Amino acid sequence: MSRALVLDFGGVISKTLFETHDLSEKALSLAPGTLEWRGPFDPDGDAAWRAMQAGEMSERDYWALRMRETGALIGEEWTEFAEFVGRVRGADPAAVIRPEALAAIGKARDAGCRLAILSNELDLFYGADFRDRLPFLAAFELIVDATYTGILKPDPRAYGFITDGLGIPAAECVFVDDQMKNIRGAAAAGMQTVAFDVTRPGESYDQALDLLKIKA
* Tens-place pLDDT, residues 4-33: 999 999 999 999 999 999 999 999 999 999
E strand or H helix at 117: strand 114-119
Whether the pLDDT of residue 63 is over 60: the answer is yes
- Give the pLDDT confidence of 186-199 residue by residue, as tens digits: 999 999 999 999 99
Contact 133, 94 (CB under 8 A): yes
Say which residues have a Cβ less than 8 Å from residue 24's Cβ, sequence separation at least 6.
17, 30, 35, 70, 88, 89
Least Cα distance to 186 among 198, 175, 195 occurs for 175
Contacts of 130 (CB under 8 A, 6+ apart): 82, 93, 122, 123
CA distance 12 to 205: 9
Which range has the worst mean pLDDT, 78-87, 121-130, 143-152, 176-185?
A: 121-130
* Helices and strands per DSSP (H, E), number in the chain: 10, 5
One-letter identity of residue 91: A
